[in-house]
Amino acid sequence: MTKKSFSLLLAAFLAIVMLAVSCGEKNQKEPDTLSVSPTELAFTAEDVSTRLFSVKSTAAWTASASADWIHLDKTSGSGNASLSVTVSANEGDDREGSISVKGAQNATVKVTQTGNKVTYLVADPAAFDGKKRAGITYQLLVYSFSDSNGDGIGDFNGIASKLDYLDEMGVSALWLSPIHPAMSYHGYDVKDYYSVNPEYGTEEDFKNLLAKAKAKGIDIYLDYVLNHAGKDHPWFQSAKASEDSPYRDYFIFSSDPAADISAGKLAMFPKNGYDSGQWFSCVSGSATSMKVKFTLTLDGAGKPKTLKIEQVEEISNSGSQTSGIWLYYGDGKMAQFYTTGGSVCTLSIDISSSWGVLIRTSQTQWDSYKYGAPSSNHQLEWGKELTLSNTDSNDILLPGMNNLMYHSHFWTDWFADFNYGAASTSETSPAFIDLAASADKWINMGVKGLRLDAVKHIYWDENSSENPTFLDKWYQRCNATYKAAGNTGNIYMVGEVFSEASKTFNYYKGLPSAFEFSFWWGLKDALNNRSAGSFVNNLISWRSSYTANRSDAVPAIKLTNHDENRAATDLGKSDAKEKQAAAILLTAEGKPFIYQGEELGYWGVKDGGDEYVRTPIKWTKSGAVASGRLGGKVDNTMLTAGISVEAQSADANSLMNVYKTFSKVRNTYPALSSGKMSAANLSGSTILSWYMTSSDGQKALVIHNLASSAKTVAAPGDLSKPILVLGSAALKGGQLILEANSSIVFLQ
């Protein structure tokens, strides 16, 4: 065989082989396949509608469910198919099953269904470790809190005897009403900043209270009145008596306030800062043992017309006493005029007076029976007639007396405002120096904080930078004393800025804390209108504004205080709303203040006097209360056995125990005690919700239902750790159900 023939034979052989291989491949069968879509079907608790899934298969298959609550319309087939799936209604817990499809390959369809079981939530907080983290403060009125000696007046020892109660309330500080000697029961017209009111006990009693409170982990804050002193304060009495008094510059005096303010002579007022209703007359100088003769002329109707004064050597009166005209020259001191007939009356008298005289035509009545100096001329000069007025009726100044006006921002002559001069140099003013020295005494004694009264009124323009500038100087001065006394951290100081929140932003430039009155005003509206409105967004926005002026700003949040109608009254005496108000207060960002009696559900309005919102604590069902300084202005129909501390302590569902429970849990968790608020934005017009997150990352979800009926809430996050529950809350089908006026807090 030639070489060429061999090659042709080999090629033919290879071609036959290739053809055989190719024919073999074409005759081999493809492998069978099976797949399902979708791979998961989800049903709700009562959802009995049909769901579909498809089978794609090249061969026969079978299908079976793992549970009898899953129903298939077919269980076998061949090739591609669509299967219908239904489930039974679920009255129990969430459940999960599957459908197995077996054939050439195996596939699984997951089937889930939420439950319809109602699981009521029970708060399960961590055990309280005894550390009070929340800074909760209790505002108490010393005179009406607790009486230790049976005289009807609250006192320091009475407070000390109730420290266990306050400790159980979870408070770490007490704000005491003014403790200094004062003109009035309430103490805001101070007569001595360096001593304690003897009605409350001795200075040793106060020191004992400080020591016992400290042992309970409770600080003492004093109410300090920097805007004004009482007019009976020796500083003011000395200041008004003489220009040479060392206290003359402590107060704001002027003979012509309108002109002096317009001319810029009074540093605490802008040039447009004159308000005639805030200026009151006083006398500089006095008449002491002057022998004088007054001559009074009468008009045609026999009414006082003019008055003249002359000095005499001897006292001598002739004629008969008038039927009804007197010289009034002091506290209850009156002398009757003499007449010989006609229109002239006279009176010789050895007179002493610190304020002047008036003419009266009644010994018991004032009003139209009083005759005094006209506004244009208060001064009685030797030998000159002064025309009297029955309408203005100002004090008639005797020779040697000078007419002065003093300032009182509160439209009452019982207060005399302090003079601090220009805000920029206020720390150098004599009044500032003396008042700061008085505060030093109490800080060195162990007082840990001050509540500053009426701070927006210290300088006339409450919207200017002057009050914050002054307050910063006061805070720095007191804080230096606090640190020098060996304390760690800073002194606590909170200002009363009785305005809406937007007016308080600026005050954080001077103080670390200010009362947030708008918190209560907004909360009251939300509870009464059963509408969340903008309450949460407002709180978050306000806090951002505070910290823009001071990084360590802490708003002082509260319901009501001693100057407002009681919270229970504002909420229509609704127990449910009162409890929820407490729950909201104690789950929001800020430093909470609880006002005396608020935890017991006290009600009251100011219409008949502030005393009606300053009610004594009723400690026992039948015991007496400390009402001795309230002048009988106590609503005894409220102070029944059921509202007492004794009764509410025994009732697990009482308002008092809501305060105790929420205070304890707030103290337990940093998220609640010092956390920052952020919006949770849960849907529902009656739902208040927010997150509280602490600096260490702990987070809590807070939800309050303000509605009068149950509401279902689609709550996000972890709902497995409820730490506070007010009212009734439950989980059903993955949804949160909150009954009317119910609240819940989840640890996240």
Catalytic residues: 453, 496
Count CB atoms within 10 A of the CB of residue 18: 10
Contact 282, 405 (CB under 8 A): yes
* H or E segment to which residue 111 belongs: strand 106-113
Of the candidates 670, 657, 717, the one whose C-alpha atom is nearest the C-alpha of residue 134 is: 670
Of the candidates 405, 87, 392, the one whose C-alpha atom is nearest the C-alpha of residue 260 is: 405
d(CA 463, CA 507): 9
Helix 203-215 vs helix 430-445: crossing angle, to nearest 10: 60
Q: Give the number of C-alpha atoms closer than 13 A to the C-alpha of residue 157, restricted to the C-beta side.
A: 13
Q: Which amino acid is at 538?
A: N
ω into 31 cis (within 30 of 0): no
d(CA 673, CA 590): 8
* H or E segment to which residue 469 belongs: helix 466-484
The pairing of strands 449-452 and 219-224 is: parallel
CA angle, 421 then 449 then 208, to 5°: 125
d(CA 537, CA 558): 18
Residue with tokens 């006026």: 741
* H or E segment to which residue 83 belongs: strand 81-87
Question: What per-residue string of b and e applies to 346-384 under the rule 16 or more CB within 10 Å gives b?
Answer: bbbbebebbbbbbbbbeeeeeeebbbbbbeeebebeeee
Distance of CA 349 to the CA centre of its chain: 57
**DSSP per residue, 587-611:** TSSSEEEEETTGGGT----STT-GG
Q: Which amino acid is at 489?
A: G
Contact 723, 743 (CB under 8 A): no
Tokens encoding 504 = 């308080």
CA angle, 317 then 318 then 322, to 5°: 90
Count CB atoms within 10 A of the CB of residue 398: 24
d(CA 239, CA 250): 8
Burial of 66 (0-12, 13-18, 19+ CB in 10 A): middle
Residue with tokens 């993955």: 734
Burial of 610 (0-12, 13-18, 19+ CB in 10 A): middle
593 strand-pairing partners: 137, 558
Residue with tokens 């505070």: 546
Measured in residues, the chain has a length of: 748
Of the candidates 477, 481, 468, 480, the one whose C-alpha atom is nearest the C-alpha of residue 512 is: 468
CA angle, 461 then 467 then 471, to 5°: 170
C-alpha distances out from residue 107 to 36, 85, 233, Å: 7, 16, 93
d(CA 571, CA 527): 8
3-class SS letters over 481-496: HHHHCCCCCCCEEEEC
d(CA 138, CA 14): 106
The pairing of strands 492-495 and 449-452 is: parallel
Of the candidates 743, 597, 729, 723, the one whose C-alpha atom is nearest the C-alpha of residue 667 is: 723
